[in-house]
Amino acid sequence: MLRIILLSISFICAAQLVAAQSSFQDLVQSHASNIIKGSVKTAPPIITDIQNHGGDAAQAFLLAWQSKKLWYRRADKRLIFVEKINNESFVLLDLQTNAPIDHSTKAQIKQIKPNSGLRGLLGTALVSSQLISDNLDVRVASLKSLARDPKRTHLVPLRLAMSKETDTDMLAQMTRLERLLTMQYDTDVEARVSAITSFENDLGLDVRARLNPMLDTSLILSQSSPREGTFARMLVPGATVGLSVGQAYDMIVAKGWAPADISTAEKRTALIDNIQDGFVAGVGIETLNTDADREAAYTALAATGAVPSDVSQDDIQDVLTRVYFYETYDEPSNEVVAAAAETLGKINTKVSLSQTIDLFLDGLSLASIFFLAAIGLAITFGVMGVINMAHGEFIMMGAYTGYVVQQIIDNYTLSILIAIPAAFAVTFAAGVAMERLVVRHLYHRPLETLLATFGVSIALQQIAKNVFGTQARPLTSPDWLGGAWMINDVISISWIRVAIFVLSILFFVMLWFTLNKTRFGMETRAVTQNPRMAASMGINPDKINMLTFGLGSGIAGIAGVAIGLFAKVTSELGSDYIVQSFMTVVVGGVGNIWGTLAGAAMIGFLQKGIEWFNPSNTLAAQTFMIVFIIIFIQFRPRGIIALRGRAAGD
């Protein structure tokens, strides 16, 4: 019994499928002659019938018709899809199922090629069908496609789709696009004005791209004064930028309202053409050595009627006083123009404010990077007076440590959390080793220290090249640090920069607490201010120097992990930040974290400010910044916040 029921159900389903196929094929075949001819006049009811039928087959049919992929069999005018086997052999496919139904030669079938007008009509129909599709993905894709190239014909199907849309986010996107199309294409002035004013707080580029053409103007010449309110602005030849007296007069001549102004070259040619027996209008050519003589000869020649008369400057000015130059808006509606101008003014004001905020955030981000890169150097330089040219290589070592950790741990979030303390440990140990083996033998000998640490930096770079190669290595950030924080269409900052800013604040707080609230910090400050007195109080300056150098190097390693998340991890990574680090320390005041913070802020904001004037040349911005800092140091050689003690030269 169950078997009989299942067989019955299968027969019913098959019958329904055949009926559906047959009904769709019958539908399009009933319009076959008009589809083959492809007329814009006969197409609308056909498209309506196909859309009313609905389904994927209807959508595929309209798309194939528009893209010239629809064919028909010459013998019975059956509409089909085809699949090419070779130049002479084709497979005929069913419109409903896309299944093969027959084989044919090229001579037995013919391609349907709708004209551009019909393709546009089909495109509008496709948009309408896709926007009301039951599949959300289809609707989303259709709306994105429509937004890339919106047209007047899309307004009606878009409004129809809005009335049927159930998804909240999709409806919001449709509503915004509908307002964009309304303000540009709607015939109702009030509707356009309402749509325009609704964008007062929208800083999108697409909004400004549609508002700006509404304020386009055309230059008009008139021999009568324009009525008030019918023009955008009056133009004065010679006084208005872009409209010289010569250009204005040429426009008048082109209108046929004044004789042409004869150029010097044209006068010379006319004189040459009218030479007779060594004379021009009774003037010997041997006397025509100056412009004044040639002008006089041309005037005499014009008096005979041989050439057209020239016009004087007084004549030109007289003509200009009788002609009005003004600009009129291309948009015929004054209400739309006024609304567009007011809305665009408000938007531009907000855009300027947003650009200022964005520039400030960029400067803050750069300052936080400089602070992270320089804080370790500030401690080392301030406490020990050591010019550590290998500080950049400790940053590089930290970045490579993060890369190695990620090769072991696939989870990027976990690997970064492990890489930070690992980088600190590696570079802390390297710093201690460098201090014990090299630096401690060169105290109070700055030139030798500079040369020695510079040699160490070259050696560390070469070791990195030998171990990791010269190719940049990836230090991948977790997914939650991907992308950017988009405040609006103008203001955005990457999440990595936000994370670095937060990390800078944390390090600032931790270092301030360490140096001001712990025994190690007290001993460090004591050694900084008076090493001999500190030694007499039982503090071991040698040990403090070692730990301080290690601490500064360890912090540089952590900075390397942070910087490596957005910069290329190569052996030259540290070289890109060593100059800025020294400038930050020197400008801020050596050995003082508040001074380092102030120096990083000053250099970061200064560099971004200079780049704003010349965004295409960052090298020039850095050059101007260095010049400024040199001048600044001349007036404040001890930095913004000077430190008392050994580092300050006491």
CATH 1.10.3470 range(s) for the chain read 363-478+495-645
Please state which of the ranges 107-111, 220-224, 464-468, 646-650 shows the lowest mean pLDDT: 646-650
Q: What is the pTM of this model?
A: 0.68
Q: Is the pLDDT of residue 562 over 80?
A: yes
pLDDT at 397: 94
pLDDT at 382: 63
Q: Is the pLDDT of residue 463 over 60?
A: yes
Cα 538 from Cα 544, distance rounded (Å): 12
> pLDDT of 270-294, one tens digit each?
777 788 877 777 777 777 777 777 8
DSSP helix/strand/coil, 604: helix
pLDDT at 644: 52
Cα 35 from Cα 38, distance rounded (Å): 5
Question: Measuring CA to CA, which residue among 539, 538, 495 is closest to residue 521?
Answer: 539
% of the chain beyond a pLDDT of 90: 16
Question: Measuring CA to CA, which residue among 231, 150, 149 is closest to residue 186?
Answer: 150
> pLDDT of 483-537, one tens digit each?
788 887 788 888 888 888 888 888 888 888 887 888 887 887 777 777 778 788 8
The full DSSP string for 17-34 is: HHHHHHHHHHHHHHTHHH
**Considering the chain, what is the average pLDDT of its residues?**
83
Q: Is the pLDDT of residue 425 over 90?
A: yes
pLDDT at 5: 36
> pLDDT of 345-402, one tens digit each?
999 999 999 888 888 888 888 888 888 888 888 877 766 677 888 888 999 999 999 9
Q: Is the pLDDT of residue 11 over 50?
A: no
pLDDT at 649: 47
Mean pLDDT of 112-134: 80
> pLDDT of 54-113, one tens digit each?
677 877 888 888 888 888 888 888 888 888 888 788 888 888 888 888 888 888 888 888
pLDDT at 349: 92
- C-beta of residue 178 within 8 angstroms of C-beta of residue 143: no
Question: Measuring CA to CA, which residue among 201, 151, 234, 194 is closest to residue 336?
Answer: 194
pLDDT at 418: 93
Cα 162 from Cα 182, distance rounded (Å): 14
pLDDT at 347: 92
pLDDT at 191: 93
> pLDDT of 194-251, one tens digit each?
999 999 988 888 899 899 999 998 898 988 888 887 788 888 888 888 888 888 888 9
pLDDT at 342: 93
Q: Which DSSP symbol is given to 476?
A: P
Fold classification of 363-478+495-645 (topology level): ABC transporter involved in vitamin B12 uptake, BtuC (1.10.3470)
Alpha-carbon separation of residue 182 from 178, 341, 497, 618 (angstroms): 6, 17, 39, 43
Alpha-helix runs per DSSP H in 409-494: 412-437, 446-468
The full DSSP string for 312-368 is: -HHHHHHHHHT-EEEEEESSS-HHHHHHHHHHHHHHHHHHHHHHHHHHHHHHHHHHH
pLDDT at 20: 43
> pLDDT of 405-419, one tens digit each?
999 998 888 999 999
For the record, the structure tokens of 634 come out as 């001349």
> pLDDT of 293-309, one tens digit each?
787 787 787 777 778 77
Strand order in the sheet with 233-235: 217-222, 324-329, 233-235
Cα 406 from Cα 418, distance rounded (Å): 9
Q: Is the pLDDT of residue 646 over 80?
A: no
Q: Is the pLDDT of residue 1 over 50?
A: no
% of the chain beyond a pLDDT of 70: 93
Residue of higher predicted confidence among 242 and 649: 242
Q: How confident is the model at residue 22 (pLDDT cuts 50, 70, 90)?
A: low
Rg, Å, the chain Cα set: 40
Q: Is the pLDDT of residue 15 over 60?
A: no
